[in-house]
């Protein structure tokens, strides 16, 4: 039987990785901790302590992803936003359209396509910070 890149890993390790990936998805979808714990206990017939271990491990993996270089971090944020956009229901309703536009606007800001909310303009020795239509003088 051909190897699938899992050489040296026990079935327990593979189960742990699979369940951790599932919990990562639940975290990224924005599920509450109590709901994640409940679903883990129900899905895998594990004790609450083990469910919290899966959650702890998932959060550790997310932290590792976020601590990578800027290019990887931007890609991660784009992926999360794309997942949010794809999961939006009723994009044709007014509230759904607004939510979809906010996600797309946020993605465009990350890509540098949409202008930033904060602009810094230097005038002589004084720095002026322009935020939207308001100007704040930094002294």
Query: What is the C-alpha separation between 71 and 110, in angstroms, rounded?
Result: 11
d(CA 124, CA 65) in angstroms, rounded, equals 42
pTM equals: 0.49
* Confidence (pLDDT) at 45: 95
Residue 1: inside a domain: no
Asked if 73 and 139 sit in the same domain, the reply is yes
Specify which residues 138 forms β-bridges with: 127
CB 40 within 8 A of CB 23: yes
The per-residue pLDDT for 120 is 55
Q: Inform me whether the pLDDT recorded for 24 exceeds 60.
A: yes
Q: Which pLDDT belongs to residue 65?
A: 75
Statement to judge: residues 72 and 139 lie in one domain: yes
Q: Average the pLDDT over 61-79 and give the result.
A: 79
Residues 61-69: what's their mean pLDDT? 78
Q: Domain limits at 45? A: 10-67
């Amino acid at each position: 039987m051909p190897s699938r890149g899992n050489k040296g890993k026990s079935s327990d390790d593979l189960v742990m990785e699979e369940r951790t990936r599932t919990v990562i998805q639940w975290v990224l979808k924005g599920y509450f901790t109590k709901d994640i714990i409940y679903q883990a206990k129900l899905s895998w017939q594990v004790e609450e302590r083990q469910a919290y271990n899966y959650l702890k491990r998932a959060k550790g993996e997310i932290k590792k992803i976020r601590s990578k270089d800027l290019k990887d971090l931007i890609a991660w944020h784009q992926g999360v936003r794309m997942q949010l956009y794809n999961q939006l229901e009723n994009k044709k309703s007014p509230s759904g359209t607004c939510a979809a536009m906010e996600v797309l606007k946020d993605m465009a800001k990350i890509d540098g396509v949409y202008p930033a909310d904060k602009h810094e303009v230097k005038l002589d020795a004084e720095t002026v910070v322009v935020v939207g239509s308001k100007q704040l003088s930094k002294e």
